[in-house]
Amino acid sequence: MDITVAGAGDGGSGGGRRTWVVEVERTLHDAPDAAAEASRWRRHCIYRVPACIKDLKPKAYQPQVVSLGPFHHGDPGLAPMEAHKRRALRHLLRRASRPLADFVAAVEAVADRLEAAYLDLGGGWRGGGGDGGEARERFLEMMIVDGCFLLEVMRAAAAVSPATPAPAAAGKPHAAEEEDYAENDPVFSRHGVLYMVPYIRRDMLMLENQLPLLVLERLLFVETERANVVHSRVSNEDQINRMVLRFLSPSARTPALGTPLGHHPLDALRRSMLHGEYQSPRRGHGAGARAYHRDIIRPAAYADDGGGDIIRSAVELYEAGIRFRRARTDSLHDVRFRHGVLAMPPVAVDDSTEYMLLNMMAFERLHPGAGNDVTAYVFFMDSIIDSAKDVALLSSKGIIQNAVGSDKAVAKLFNSISKDVVLEPESALDGVQRQVNAYCRQPWNMWRANLIHTYFRSPWAFMSLAAAMFLLVMTIMQTVYTVMSFYQQAEGGGGGGSAAPSPM
């Protein structure tokens, strides 16, 4: 295929082909076919958050104390933790009694997969860049150092936890070596776990700061192989999944044996919150295929469509006769409406909730095939929470566990993080929304909601209604008494007239 550019601007080249034309033609011939291109996109799972997403709250996507992976490696503010990473590597090697070369070989065997996990990985990290393999060596070094650091941090946190599992279950094959850090270690001691590890835990939830869990699985494989511990590859994956979840969220649901290894810590936590159940993304692009753009498309633009109208706030739903109940599980999918009862999973709202949800939503937006389960849940919560009163109602039902202080702060959190979200309408939560709105449109429920909203919102309105009802009852009673007295007198007068003699 030849592309010719005619006309002015040839610069006296006599119609010769430009350099960029030749380059485009070369890339056309070298371009992969559709199947190969789809396979390449599937391997990506760690992304740089674009400005259109990050501008909402930049600090929510920025690590504070430690860099994991290449995107923030070398940031000046994160440099102090590099020395602690090296210490973690030395401690792990000393306990494992294996040469570093064994770990390098294990990670190098999957280096291509690890590189492919990062979209927009710079040439300074990517192998085959024509620099004699220096980029690949830097990449391997970073993967091993960061991976050993994560293993050591998670093990240190498990060692001081009141519910510490057995060493083998925690992915630590050397039971005799429980304490090999100094008591005053700034990171790996009890003091470090209390004061430094919470910041590391936070940084592990940043989408740009993810490390493929495949690295941890390979490092654990080398450790357990030497320790004569019988572990299949699947059991190593189980251990990594459980270690990560136990560290990030001790109350998280333990994944079943055989659960596939998560892409990275953020993905593992997200899967746990969904109980491993994903809503398949809709493929429709024709009639009926649409999306909600919160704060981009006005609600009125899609409010007349059968299921696109926005659900009412929790207080308004309660006034319409809907009861709230805590769901039986904590899966974000467990939102159901049946017989006037809206069951919702319990959610703990603390200082980590905002950036955790924002990074999960960014992952869903950037990772094709991930679905939008967390995004749909956040959108739903934003819809039913308009004020502190809604939060108070949900808290009283055990649905929201408020650890941030005021109900107003919780309402502000959900209202702020759902701005500019893109939501597929054909989801399970969309079906719940349709059912709830249909229930609220029933005449009796509309009348009940209007009555409560008008007369029971304030004590003065209620007192006025009560006084009016009292006067109405008294008026009715007075009327009945008057009518009854009249008929009694009439009957009495009629009887006496017939008995009296006629004057004539």
Which pLDDT score, from 0 to 100, does residue 290 have? 44
Range of 379's domain? 296-437
Cβ atoms < 10 Å from Cβ of 154:
25
Residues 243 and 345 occupy one common structural domain: no
Alpha carbons 272 and 253: distance in angstroms, whole number:
6
Are the C-beta atoms of residues 155 and 171 closer than 8 Å to each other?
Answer: yes
Are the C-beta atoms of residues 188 and 80 closer than 8 Å to each other?
Answer: no
In a domain, 39, yes or no: no
Alpha carbons 1 and 353: distance in angstroms, whole number:
53
In three state form, how does the secondary structure of 199-265 look? HHHHHCCCHHHCCCHHHHHHHHHHHHHHCCCCCCHHHHHHHHHHHHHHHHCCCCCCCCCCCCCCCCH
Residues 226 and 339 occupy one common structural domain: no
Which pLDDT score, from 0 to 100, does residue 257 have? 80
pTM of the model: 0.79
> Looking at this protein, which amino acid is placed at residue 118?
Y
Residues 207 and 308 occupy one common structural domain: no
CB-count exposure of residue 12 (10 Å: 0-12, 13-18, 19+): exposed
Residues 97 and 213 occupy one common structural domain: yes
In a domain, 68, yes or no: yes
In a domain, 132, yes or no: yes
Residues 363 and 412 occupy one common structural domain: yes
In a domain, 144, yes or no: yes
> How many domains in the chain?
3
Report phi then psi at 147, rounded to 5. -65, -45
In 3D space, the residue among 365, 380, 362, 378 whose CA is nearest the CA of residue 413 turns out to be 378
Residues 101 and 236 occupy one common structural domain: yes
Residues 63 and 113 occupy one common structural domain: yes
According to DSSP, residue 322 is labeled -
In a domain, 495, yes or no: no
In 3D space, the residue among 458, 448, 347 whose CA is nearest the CA of residue 395 turns out to be 347
Residues 210 and 301 occupy one common structural domain: no
Residues 425 and 457 occupy one common structural domain: no
In a domain, 281, yes or no: no
Residues 118 and 96 occupy one common structural domain: yes
In a domain, 290, yes or no: no
According to DSSP, residue 176 is labeled T
In 3D space, the residue among 57, 113, 88, 71 whose CA is nearest the CA of residue 359 turns out to be 57
Which pLDDT score, from 0 to 100, does residue 495 have? 53
Contacts of the segment 179-187: beta carbons below 8 A, 24+ positions apart: 180/91, 180/94, 180/95, 181/91, 181/156, 186/84, 187/84, 187/153, 187/156
Residues 206 and 320 occupy one common structural domain: no
In a domain, 14, yes or no: no
Token pair recorded at residue 137: 């060596």
Domain end point (choices 225, 241, 273): 273
Which pLDDT score, from 0 to 100, does residue 267 have? 96
Are the C-beta atoms of residues 319 and 340 closer than 8 Å to each other?
Answer: no
According to DSSP, residue 396 is labeled H
Residues 332 and 415 occupy one common structural domain: yes
84, containing H or E segment = helix 81-96
Task: Provide block-wise average pLDDT over 10 residues at a time, the chain (504 residues).
Answer: 47 62 77 66 90 92 97 96 97 93 96 95 76 86 98 94 52 50 94 96 98 97 69 75 93 81 95 74 43 42 48 89 92 92 95 95 92 93 95 96 93 91 76 88 58 54 65 81 76 55 48
